[in-house]
Amino acid sequence: MVHGFKHRGHPLYTIDMTEGPLLTTVLQYAVPMMLSGILQLVFNAADTIVVGRFSGNQALAAVGSVGSLNNMIISLFIGFSVGVNVLVARYSGARMNREVSDTVHTAVLLSVVGGLLLGVVGFIAARPLLLLMGSPDDVIDLAVLYIRIIFIGLPVQMLYNFCAAVLRAVGDTRRPLYFLTVAGVINAGLNLIFVIAFRMSVAGVALATIISQLVAAVLVTRSLTESEGAIRLTPGKLRVNPDILRQIITIGLPAGIQSSVFSLSNVVIQSSVNSFGSTVIAGNAAASNVGNFVYQAMNTFQQAVTSFAGQNMGARKPKRVIGSLKACQFWTVVFGVILGLLSCVFARPLLSLFSTDDAVIRVGIERMWVVCAPYFLCGIMDVMTGVLRGIGYSLLPMIVSLMGACVFRIIWVMTVFAADHTMRCLMLSYPVSWALTFSVHTLIFCILWPKIRRQFTPEELARE
């Protein structure tokens, strides 16, 4: 262990996750991150609203039809940022200076190189993949154009996510919020200029998105270069530490595969949605955008429990690991139930932001009652995944998610949906799979935790 550990980031922004009352500390950590995630969703929602209002239903359907494909391709690499978060949190909790620094520099280099590789692959594979998904002829050209521009900006998107993961791992969730606020304003302004003034349709909103992401990436990278202590980024030190890379892959690859599995299952669902035509595609896309805000509010507690568990495992405080799990589950249910029901009650005015077509709105309302009302099930499932990653288990959640999300939903589409070919039946696959996967994750944690406890001394087990 390296002694003389300097404060982990900017003292005005960081939160000590190893001390203090957990219920309020978790909320203090999560709220800025929640707002950051919501701002990221505003990027996509702004795209959807602008094209829906000013470029028509075909453009709206084109943007909506590529969301699951985009998520599937980038989720694998985004999962590595989870590995970065866990390592930085664990090493900073244990006050290990050199390991924190090596993780930061390995992660930044990995994000840029990986983003470039994924961008090239995604650009080339865009049309074949959309054809495989059964995108309708009247939207596929616009969809290909949109997703290819998004892939061009993938390296800066990856860089932002990895640098933000470092800041969040040491308790700094406020500065990413500030950076995304600036980027969000730029994105909204450029959307209006490119689509309304220049009539660039889907190309305009895609270009606005990657420019705003570039701004966010520059700001968050600069914050690391100006940070004090172990997380300081020095360009001359950018190199891959093989041991750190191995650990990032060990934790991050299963997390990325797990995210990709969910995205793959969404691609399967999207392919089934596509069979209903462009009106249903547009309604589903609009409702999905609204529901994403509910999901993001809950998902911050998955990220919070990963950081809290990682830091407290490093600080040898197992009681706080359990306490953080309970606190995150509590807030997940509170936010999930309240926001899920509110989104359903106010579904019509919310969906009207995306489209004025009554048929599109009716489809969206149906989806929201089936998916958003029980959304808290997805949230508590994710928190269990997050705590398992935080204590060092990433492979088991991946396997469970593979079975619970991908395999189960594919079977549902091939059997239940085949017998009842309706949107309601298709959407029911979501809450059923969440409940099933949460139950298995919880059982696994209950089996593993006694084994984890044996790693600590009686004094450590008693520490608050």
Query: How many angstroms separate the Cα of 439 from the Cα of each of 156, 384, 402, 427?
Result: 37, 9, 14, 20
Query: How many angstroms separate the Cα of 310 from the Cα of each of 106, 228, 320?
Result: 19, 21, 10
pLDDT at 232: 95
Locus of tokens 């800066």? 156
Contact between 331 and 26 under an 8 Å Cβ cutoff? The reply is yes
**Ranges of the chain whose pLDDT falls below 50:** 1-8
Q: Is 153 left (phi over 0), alpha (psi -120 to 50) or beta?
A: alpha
pLDDT at 4: 42
- Structure token digits, residue 435: 């409940």
**Cα(325)–Cα(22) distance, integer angstroms:** 10
**Cα(290)–Cα(40) distance, integer angstroms:** 13
pLDDT at 263: 67
pLDDT at 398: 85
